[in-house]
Amino acid sequence: MKSVVLVCCLYFAFAVSSAQGHSLESLEKQLGSTEKYFQSIDKKAPEFSLQDADGNTVRLSDMRGKVVVLNFVYTSCPDVCPLHSERISEIQGMINSSPMRDLVQFVTITTDPKTDTPEIMREFGAINGLDPQNWMFLTSGQDRLEDTRALVEQFGHKFSPEGDGYQVHSVVTHIIDREGRWRANFHGLKFQPTNLVVFVNALTNAAHGPDHAEEPNLWQKLKNLF
């Protein structure tokens, strides 16, 4: 029953914001006061040119017109990376049960391109319940090991390789809008997934035109239903 209500709410949010506009500034203010793990950002996202598991080149610029939900993991991580992937899968399930599915691209980038071979990358999505329809796993490739570290740091992560293949890096879910601008971070794993989904919904509609009059009650009504 809860999942049915959630899907209906997301359809409602999409329809209302498409028809009337959604005050992104108002939403950011509300998230800033109610979601302690939300960080508002507004600057050009770091460009990248990476490879998918089949060796195809993928650039951030290829994703213009879609909201990008991006995170970094390495597959041999024993603790937070599996939990982060689980959270991304949960969010993807919520988004893909709504009209936003075709407007959102999920991107996971490995921080360990030496170990995360194409074979391992191909298995990762199925193991973690990620839908390849709008999710991809990217790598710099074994001949460009430093490129991944540089990209991680451009996205504001601390990156510290340790012995035995372990790494220490921040856990952050990055949100990039349809114009390629980095709009938000959701830090750690304790943020409310519905907050991220509502924020992504606002971004999917932000490109359709200027904000209209604020609707402070819409976001709160949706939050109360989740």
Q: What is the mean pLDDT of the chain?
A: 85
| pLDDT reading at 220 higher than 60 | no
Instruction: For the chain, give the percent of residues with pLDDT over 90.
Output: 67
Q: Cα dist. 116→7, 55, 61, 138, 225 in Å?
A: 35, 13, 24, 10, 40
| pLDDT reading at 1 higher than 80 | no
- Predicted pLDDT at 18: 41
Q: Please determine, looking at this structure, whether the domain spanning 2-225 carries the CATH number 3.40.640.10.
A: no
Q: Per mean pLDDT, which range of 22-26, 174-178, 193-197 is the poorest?
A: 22-26
| pLDDT reading at 9 higher than 90 | no
Spatial distance between the Cα atoms of 205 and 212, rounded to a whole number of angstroms = 12
What average pLDDT does this structure show over 33-56?
A: 96
Q: Per mean pLDDT, which range of 116-120, 137-141, 186-190, 221-225 is the poorest?
A: 221-225
Spatial distance between the Cα atoms of 170 and 6, rounded to a whole number of angstroms = 30
Tens digit of pLDDT for each residue in 50-59? 999 999 999 9
Polymer length in residues for the chain: 226
Q: Where are the domains of the chain?
A: 2-225
Tens digit of pLDDT for each residue in 177-218? 999 999 999 999 999 999 999 999 999 987 544 443 344 444
